[in-house]
Amino acid sequence: MSKKYKVIEIIDEKNIIIDYGKNNGAKIDDEIRIIKDGEPVIDHEQNIKLGNLYLIKETLNVKTVYENFSICNKTISSFQPIFSSASDLGKTIYSKKNLNVDESEITNRVISTNEKIKVGDIVIVK
């Protein structure tokens, strides 16, 4: 896992400050994740703990970079047709395809959370 940073201030509902800045290599539009420690991942065949599966509270982007910190927020883009509302020019749709897995081995592990972002939360740079 990459170096961990943290949330140091919540400015408002749309902007936070993290302790990741120019001196750490921060650049505008870097993707960051606010995470929470999750449950351990175990290789049951070798009985080895491989680490923890972190729960992602939010994925954000760096918008303003200072020497020792950055302001981050979440920007959502939407498709705007060029010619008319019926135009699909340039639109890409992604969907997940089911894998051929043994259904008896599905764990249904929770890998995301709806917990609120708090000062002191762990931040990783993707």
User: Hey, where are the domains in the chain?
Assistant: 4-75+88-125
Is residue 7 packed enough to be buried (19+ CB in 10 Å), middle (13-18) or exposed (0-12)? Answer: buried
Nearest Cα residue to 126 out of 12, 20, 13, 8 = 20
Quick one: tokens of 35? 């995470």
Report the distance separating Cα 12 and Cα 30, nearest Å. Answer: 20
Q: What are phi and psi of 43, to 5 degrees?
A: -85, 100
* pLDDT score, position 104: 83
Chunked into runs of 10 residues, the chain (126 residues) has average pLDDT values of: 87 94 96 89 92 88 96 78 60 67 75 81 90
pLDDT at 105 (0 to 100): 74
Q: How many angstroms separate the CA atoms of 121 and 37, rounded?
A: 10
* pLDDT at site 90: 62
Give me the half-sphere count of Cα atoms (radius 13 Å) on the Cβ side of residue 24.
20
d(CA 51, CA 38): 9
The reported pLDDT for the residue numbered 82 is 61
